[in-house]
Structure 1
């Protein structure tokens, strides 16, 4: 099982391409990200990211990528100085390839006849996780993560994907929309993989857990069958560890106990089922390993602050929000 893909699916990932932007000295873009991760990939020129929690702006050059964690509102501009006026891009839909009015009108034009006015070309996307609480892996991601294009091998996944995105958005070929959305998903996954691989080797985290074969096996069992009444003894037997060895090894890998982590996964799955299906509380309780709706509801409310029925009603109301991505995951 691909554990990261399962985490993203159960957490309710929605992706939205905000657009291919051509920044000029007169333009700046604002990205409120209350419930979204943001991603910018610079394909030409140089741009700056401004945010209240940054000591100084992040300077990005062609080939660089920055991933902002959920809630990191920010602005994007050509100038190191914080913009005083900007255009909000929080819910701007992607209407097709190309650039905004008043900027270079095509990829070929930008390449063959560069304008005298400085500009940068940036691919921007939002990755929305609407429900709280977040999965521990997503919650642990750094607020800002920058990948410098020059630090990566030319044929590694990130620069290749950015290059393909740039081409698809500029050429407007057959199937460009489908290709672009698929490439965006790949770009986000590669960025998350890069973060996980750069985690402190001694610190708990997903990459540490995946590298530990018995702990990876336990996680695979949990993700693969949340409805099973797992016990610490059974999980330990499956991984070839005693109860105490599993508990210690799991805590070292993920900073949590196995059964606490299992409960977190179950509540994540329950939120997905409440939001996306019409299953009864009894059906959902059984799907996530509880014998009855009462015991499930008690744990769910303690975790989310709402009863399952309140959560489902709130989710139905939230679907009318213009800030919530409507596309399928």
Structure 2
């Protein structure tokens, strides 16, 4: 009889930890790079951090999830099969993977095995404190599940493929410190270890995103992949660094040292929007966040984002957000955003 996946207590203990809120566009005087700003604006929260062990041959099915899952293979080897993705992914020790679309997936030591549903495995197996004792020959997976409570998580999720697989040796070396610390915290729990594990999982997520965007072969059009382009990253940093500045196509092209026509084509090709479309969308994302999280009035927000006219600001907001600023402010609080 096949040995099942044995979950650890941390795998099923939902611990919601709010990460530091964004200061983007709030006059903090502290500049954050575009990736940090977008992550902060999406308000990622660690839903659960932990790990589980695979003892012998097994397969387990995980249902559709919200947000992003980020896990790493600490020891051993198994297969990752994601619904809608044609080819299975072989995971080796040190590999890391992100699942940003919320698609159902399966982890298996053998592709021919019938998968056991996650809920069934949990009810049948209960909680085992031995799961992370590094049993010889066992396979170990650890990481975190992140909910995104910002109202515009799609800006991040839509820029990522269904599976982000970190497998190059140089990339795994960059992840090694976090993985080793996470393994130690889970194997030998100490006071405060749960919080440390959650922060290490968040570090893994950011590091994996950085490594993904540095791998130009695996990235498609979108603001995330554009960060790996020397010229486009300068333009994005300029927009994010001073969103209220009266940027024009000419001034942005001059900032990166390109002609206006070449810059416009290159930006559209890399980002998927024109420079002015991206600028307007980013301003409205900042405005939406401030409407929900600050006491600033509409005129103050509009002026800080480069709009002299309240009507022009309202028109732009309605076009991007689908409603007026006042309607958005009165809307119910945003719930956790699905990665689907």
Does 2:189 match 1:172? yes
Q: Corresponding residue for 2:240? A: 223
Distance 1:138 1:102, change over 3 A: closer
Q: 1:60 aligns with which of 87, 91, 100?
A: 91
Distance in 1 separating the partners of 2:292 and 2:248: 28
**8 Å Cα contact 2:69/2:99 also seen in 1:** yes
**8 Å Cα contact 1:44/1:122 also seen in 2:** yes
Q: Deviations over 1:195-252 (max 9, x none)?
A: 2122239964557644554433322221011122222233334444443343234334
**8 Å Cα contact 2:58/2:115 also seen in 1:** no
Deviation at 1:26, TM superposition (A): 7.7
Q: Corresponding residue for 1:271? A: 288
Deviation at 1:194, TM superposition (A): 1.9
Distance 1:212 1:53, change over 3 A: closer
Q: 1:140 aligns with which of 159, 165, 169?
A: 159
Aligned-partner SS, 1:297: helix
Q: 2:211 aligns with which of 194, 197, 210?
A: 194
TM-score normalized by structure 1? 0.75
Say how many residue pairs are matched: 302
Which of 54-63 and 223-232 deviates more?
Answer: 54-63
**8 Å Cα contact 2:231/2:256 also seen in 1:** yes
**8 Å Cα contact 1:28/1:87 also seen in 2:** no
Distance in 1 separating the partners of 2:151 and 2:337: 14
Q: 1:286 aligns with which of 303, 310, 313?
A: 303
**Runs (5+) with no aligned partner, structure 1:** 90-99
Superposed CA RMSD in Å reads: 3.5
Distance in 1 separating the partners of 2:220 and 2:171: 30
Q: 1:83 aligns with which of 98, 115, 118?
A: 115
Aligned-partner SS, 1:125: strand
**Runs (5+) with no aligned partner, structure 2:** 1-31
Distance in 1 separating the partners of 2:303 and 2:291: 13
Q: Corresponding residue for 1:41? A: 72
Deviation at 1:2, TM superposition (A): 2.3
Q: 2:104 aligns with which of 73, 81, 102?
A: 73
Deviation at 1:143, TM superposition (A): 0.7
